[in-house]
Amino acid sequence: MKYQLHKLLLRSLMALALVITAFAWSVPAQAACLSSSATRSAVANGQARPLGSLRVKGQILSAKLCKRGGGLVYTLSVLNNGKVSRVTLDARTGRRL
């Protein structure tokens, strides 16, 4: 009985650690996105292409310019044929990642 209680406690702690790790990984990804003014500066300085110059199949519903891997990426929500999908593009080249 004591062994089963310890086993249950260990499993619960492992599950909690997994949830905390997943949350910790998701928060920095959101925090890495630039504000509107920082996005305008990045486009003006040539660090990112203007959003209107990107070639995307469908209608862009929302866009964020974010830091990733030492560079900038656009994270887009795109409506195409009635389906919304997330598209990630290199902000400098416009190529899909």
Structural domain boundaries in the chain: 1-31, 34-97
| Higher-pLDDT residue of 12, 52 | 52
User: Domain 34-97 belongs to what topology?
Assistant: Nuclear Transport Factor 2; Chain: A, (3.10.450)
What distance in Å separates the CA atoms of residue 21 and residue 25, rounded to the nearest whole number?
6
Per-residue pLDDT, 20: 54
Place of tokens 């990112």: 48
Q: Is it the case that residue 86 has pLDDT exceeding 80?
A: yes
Per-residue pLDDT, 22: 47
| Higher-pLDDT residue of 31, 5 | 5
For 55-75, how does the pLDDT look when each residue is reduced to its tens digit (9 = 90+)? 999 999 999 999 998 899 999
Per-residue pLDDT, 4: 73
Q: Mean per-residue pLDDT for 23-40?
A: 70
